[in-house]
Amino acid sequence: MFELKPFSNNTDLPMRSPKTVMDLPRLGALYPYPLSFMRCLLRRVMKEMWGIKSTIFNLDEEGFGEVVYEITTPNAIYSYVIFSKKLSDSKRSDRVIAEDWDMTVTLCEGQINQDRLEFLKQNVPLQEKGRVDSKCLVLSRANKSMRNFEYVIDCLSSGKQPNLDRIAKVGYIFRTTAVYGSGKFGMSDWDNLCNKYIDFAKPFSAEMFSCFMIRHFSLELANWVARGRSPKTAVELDDGIKRYIGIGNATGLGMAPYLIKHPMLIANWIEVREKSLARIIKYKFPDKDSLGSLECLIMKAAQHLDEISTDNLEQNQRNKRAVNEVKKCLKWITAKNKTIVNWQELIDYAYYNYHVETQELINAILTEVYAKFILDLESELNIDESYRMQPMMKLNELKSLIEKNYKWALSYDFNNSLSTETFWYRSEEKQEPRLGKKSVDNGIEKEMMMCIARDVRSCFNEICDIEESNESITVAHFAFSRPHLRYIIRRIQTMGSTQYGEIIANLLDVDVLPIHLLRCKLSFFGVGKFDPRSKKWVRNTMFQGAPLVSDIGNEYNDTWCFPIRPKFSEKLN
Amino acid sequence: MNTMILGVFLLGLSLVKNLINISFNELLSLLSRVFEALYGHEHDYQEMAQTIFWLECHGHSGINKLIEKLPELEAVKNIYLPSPNITKEVITVDCCGGSLFTNAHLICDLAFSEAENYGTSKVFIINAKDPYAIIGYLGSACNNSLSSYLVTDKISAFISPRSQYPTIYSNTSCKKIQLTCAKNHNLIDMSHIANLEPKLDVIKQKSFYEIALKNGLSISTLNFKKLNLIADRILVPSTDASRLGAGE
């Protein structure tokens, strides 16, 4: 079950080996950690005390209309523009192919005048079918949670706070179904954003901020509609409950190609994460304080997992197993209290005794214990991506590179039809990525380039077909007559300089679980409470437990990881 | 001041009804899908896209050049090049009448590789169309250690190591397309351009790029639609069954 040598010793930090880290089921077990993007964002918002106030709040009693929030940072002013409309229940869908939403939004540069608002009003509600411009940084939409929104309004309008058990089951009252940035539909390109809008010059920072603002608006909207329905009896949502309400998110296959298309970026994010852990292992040692923090966080994480409500049997089992194992681990720690000499001992123990979910949970908890010690690594999350050909490389060098870094890819048997039964393609419906079965579905001739392992294998086979005496020819000569291999050669060469190169998986396998890819990326966003709806899409919760806009300016403790039910429920209910 | 005027001009252009303003990311993604639709995975379609993209966002009208060429690109499906003829002094690549938009990168790879190994390389490109594509690739490749010099019948271009901006000269009299690369630029014979003023210098291209990055690129709506029509060929028709492929 476990690789015998979890750590490689080729750097001065005890980094885990790519073989261990990049294995897809492990990537699918990653938890948010202090350098997850929404955590990075909120540290900045709170530290710099961003001003967020509504300048237009033009809603009817049912909450339909438009709202503009003005955001003032030390560097610039932005506007967050929201269009809220009535949507019939039958039109409400999490799918990217939906055409209508309860709320559509954009984050854009500067203040908004009437002309600008009118332009946005003509385009933002159309989402993919509209056009915005380079002054817009994010385009997004969200739908009401059928389970919670009306319930919360009913409670508030009748003068009661919502029941926390009910809130805990879902965790949000609105759910985003797509968050677009980086130049989509005419928006600002990432390079422009990095240069011009430094407040959002970290990965997915603007997108995370948009989700934070949707959460803020959803809470204001709940109060507004409750007051509109019953001005005399309505009460405002309690701040403690508000903090416990996050923003929902539905993520599907669309996120998976991103991970395959941007291996340098993913390798870098993983490396920063691994460096965080390795740094703790090397420089920090268990003592009374750290063991105390660890114990508290383990208990909090266990409760957090216990409180997750999902109909997905497998996810429930994973959560329960992680809770049991992490509690056992706590007992082990308690028993060994005086004898644990370093954190490697704990990690090794988890590695050899618990499942991958628990191992990664413990790793995430350790990074939380020493969050301040790793925060400087936040500056390493950005990277310039470029996959350039190195044409002068000798063919035998390329072959060695494959043998060294892609042994995993060469281990698959692509002659077995089950190894290539799955294919990925883009549907004509909004270019939505979908999975097909070769033996059943149409579209194989238009499959996406998603299987790095198979492409590497093809390249390796063709190199092996070259006579030994010709192995010293350059890659340029080799690719000249084999242009179909040039793309994978560039990739192999580029990723050769990264430590955590590729996701170790055959994405064409009949049993591939794309949900691991989704969860991997979502963990870097900082998302929790995974509620898989199938192996292809997952609901989750963002910003649950995070500070509110009204908390900006107050003392900030970056400790809202593993959100748990507030303790004052009895008093309020 | 010139930068500001160009910025106002570009913004003004985008307001004209038949232009659409698109981001770099959108353009590169669109071009990538166009070349994927044209050639499938048999060629490095992303590099082809990158070449046109570079030309467009540095003020070389890459999209217009591509649009003009599209009927021909659509008609000729076999774009494989015959093996180059390699002698000690020169590599000769016969493009058999084809466009360099589809294989400039392969030819530049050869030139770079030879120059890296032997200090200098010279490539004659015969029976080829669209030599401007070489400029697009030289710019996007941003070679770390080589100077490159391209001579065609209409233009010459020189690019320094690590630069993304070739200097372009016009009015050369060379009959064939010739690409020379060298670790030491003194080894390149640039007598063609010795007394010429640049037609397009580094500053203009850089400025065009920066303004376009800030404001987006304005391209003709018609061209945008033409490209999308081709790009959409990589999409699979949707059915009730296929909708399950994203997880009902």
Distance CA B46, CA B132 (A): 18
A567 touches chain B (CB under 8 A): no
Least Cα distance to B242 among A91, A179, A253 occurs for A253
- With an 8 Å Cβ cutoff, are B23 and A490 in contact? no
* HEC assignment per residue over chain B: CHHHHHHHHHHHHHHCCCEEEECHHHHHHHHHHHHHHHHCCCCCHHHHHHHHHHHHHCCCCHHHHHHHHHHHHHHCCCCCCCCCEECCCCEEEECCCCECCCCHHHHHHHHHHHHHHHCEEEEEEECCECCHHHHHHHHHHCCCCCEEEEECCCEEEEECCCCCCCEEEECCCCCCEEEEEECCHHHCCCHHHCCCCCCECHHHHHHHHHHHHHHCEEEEHHHHHHHHHHHHHHEECCCHHHHHHHCC
| Chain A residue numbers touching B245 (CB-CB < 8 A) | 425, 427, 434-436, 441, 536
Distance CA A544, CA A566 (A): 11
Q: Which of residues 459-488 of A touch B (CB under 8 A)?
A: 474-477, 479-481, 483-484, 486-487
Distance CA A327, CA A69 (A): 44
Taking each helix axis from N to C end, the angle separating A452-465 and A395-405, rounded to the nearest 10 degrees, works out to 140
- With an 8 Å Cβ cutoff, are B238 and A426 in contact? no
Indicate the number of domains in chain B: 1
| Chain A residue numbers touching B248 (CB-CB < 8 A) | 534
Q: Tally the C-alpha atoms within 13 A of residue A498's C-alpha that lie toward its C-beta.
A: 28
Contacts of A243 (CB under 8 A, 6+ apart): A545, A546, A547, A548, A551, A560, A566
The torsion angles phi and psi of B105, rounded to 5 degrees, stand at -65, -35
Nearest chain B Cα to A534, which residue? B247
Q: Is residue B240 part of a domain?
A: no
Beta carbons of A16 and A503 less than 8 angstroms apart? no
Beta carbons of A123 and A94 less than 8 angstroms apart? no
Q: What is the pLDDT of residue A96?
A: 78
Strands (E), A337-447: 422-427, 433-437
β-bridge mates for residue A434, sequence order: A425
Residue A417 DSSP label: G
Distance CA B161, CA B143 (A): 6
Q: What is the pLDDT of residue A358?
A: 97
Beta carbons of A253 and A12 less than 8 angstroms apart? no
| Chain B residue numbers touching A434 (CB-CB < 8 A) | 236, 242-243, 245-246
Least Cα distance to A149 among A237, A211, A66 occurs for A237
Q: Is residue B243 part of a domain?
A: no
Q: Tally the C-alpha atoms within 13 A of residue A474's C-alpha that lie toward its C-beta.
A: 19
Q: Is residue B86 part of a domain?
A: yes
Name the amino acid, one letter, at A227: R
Distance CA B93, CA B123 (A): 7
Beta carbons of A164 and A219 less than 8 angstroms apart? no
Residue A237 DSSP label: P
- With an 8 Å Cβ cutoff, are A441 and B46 in contact? no
Domain boundaries, position B124: 2-234
Least Cα distance to A58 among A32, A93, A85, A35 occurs for A85
Compute the nearest-CA separation of A534 from chain B (Å): 6
Q: What is the pLDDT of residue A212?
A: 98
- With an 8 Å Cβ cutoff, are B213 and A190 in contact? no
Residue A393 class from Cβ within 10 Å (0-12 exposed, 13-18 middle, 19+ buried)? buried
Task: Give the ranges where A83-189 is alpha helix by DSSP (H).
Answer: 114-123, 149-157, 164-170
Measuring CA to CA, how many Å separate A191 from each of A40, A559, B136, B209? 19, 32, 20, 11
Q: What is the pLDDT of residue B16?
A: 54
Beta carbons of A315 and A406 less than 8 angstroms apart? no
Q: What is the pLDDT of residue A391?
A: 95
Residue A88 class from Cβ within 10 Å (0-12 exposed, 13-18 middle, 19+ buried)? exposed
Task: Find the radius of gyration of the CA atoms of chain B.
Answer: 19
For A84, the enclosing helix (H) or strand (E) is strand A77-84
Distance CA B111, CA B147 (A): 11
Residue B206 class from Cβ within 10 Å (0-12 exposed, 13-18 middle, 19+ buried)? middle
The torsion angles phi and psi of A158, rounded to 5 degrees, stand at -95, 15
Residues of chain A with pLDDT under 50: 1-10, 569-571, 573
Contacts of B4 (CB under 8 A, 6+ apart): none
Q: What is the pLDDT of residue A5?
A: 42
Beta carbons of A143 and A113 less than 8 angstroms apart? no
For A80, the enclosing helix (H) or strand (E) is strand A77-84
Tokens of B70: 């599209």
Contacts of A423 (CB under 8 A, 6+ apart): A435, A436, A437, A438, A441, A443, A444, A447, A448, A508
Q: Is residue B154 part of a domain?
A: yes
The torsion angles phi and psi of A538, rounded to 5 degrees, stand at -140, 135
Interface-testing mutation among A182, A389, A517, with chain B (most B C-beta atoms within 10 A): A389
Residue of B44, B84, B216 with shortest CB distance to A186? B216
Least Cα distance to B104 among B77, B85, B120, B123 occurs for B123
Angle ∠(A25,A26,A27) on CA atoms, nearest 5:
90
Q: What is the pLDDT of residue A4?
A: 36
Compute the nearest-CA separation of B55 from chain A (Å): 17
Nearest chain B Cα to A256, which residue? B246
Compute the nearest-CA separation of B21 from chain A (Å): 6
Q: Is residue B96 part of a domain?
A: yes
| Chain A residue numbers touching B110 (CB-CB < 8 A) | 391, 476-477, 480
Least Cα distance to A269 among A8, A524, A525 occurs for A524
Q: Which of residues 510-539 of A touch B (CB under 8 A)?
A: 533-537
Strands (E), A276-427: 422-427
- With an 8 Å Cβ cutoff, are A189 and B213 in contact? yes
Q: Is residue B239 part of a domain?
A: no
- With an 8 Å Cβ cutoff, are A389 and B105 in contact? yes
Alpha-carbon dihedral sign for residues B213, B216, B218, B221: positive
Q: What is the pLDDT of residue B14?
A: 53
Q: Is residue B195 part of a domain?
A: yes
Question: Each residue's pLDDT tens digit in chain B (248 positions)?
Answer: 454 555 555 555 555 569 999 999 999 999 999 999 999 999 999 999 999 999 999 999 999 999 999 999 999 988 999 999 999 889 999 999 999 999 999 999 999 999 999 999 999 999 999 999 999 999 888 888 899 999 998 899 999 988 889 999 987 777 789 999 999 988 898 887 888 889 999 999 999 999 999 999 999 999 999 999 999 999 999 888 777 766 65
Q: What is the pLDDT of residue A95?
A: 78
Distance CA A70, CA A107 (A): 10
Name the amino acid, one letter, at A120: L
- With an 8 Å Cβ cutoff, are B24 and A183 in contact? yes
Beta carbons of A62 and A150 less than 8 angstroms apart? no
The torsion angles phi and psi of B200, rounded to 5 degrees, stand at -140, 120
Q: What is the pLDDT of residue B7?
A: 52
Contacts of A567 (CB under 8 A, 6+ apart): none
Name the amino acid, one letter, at A570: E
Contacts of B8 (CB under 8 A, 6+ apart): none
Q: Is residue B13 part of a domain?
A: yes
Distance CA B200, CA B192 (A): 16
Least Cα distance to B215 among B2, B1, B4 occurs for B4
Least Cα distance to A58 among A24, A83, A25, A88 occurs for A83
Interface-testing mutation among B83, B110, B113, with chain A (most A C-beta atoms within 10 A): B113
Residue A291 DSSP label: H
Strands (E), A396-543: 422-427, 433-437, 528-532, 538-542
Least Cα distance to B81 among B68, B69, B92 occurs for B92
Q: Tally the C-alpha atoms within 13 A of residue B192's C-alpha that lie toward its C-beta.
A: 23
Beta carbons of B163 and B202 less than 8 angstroms apart? yes
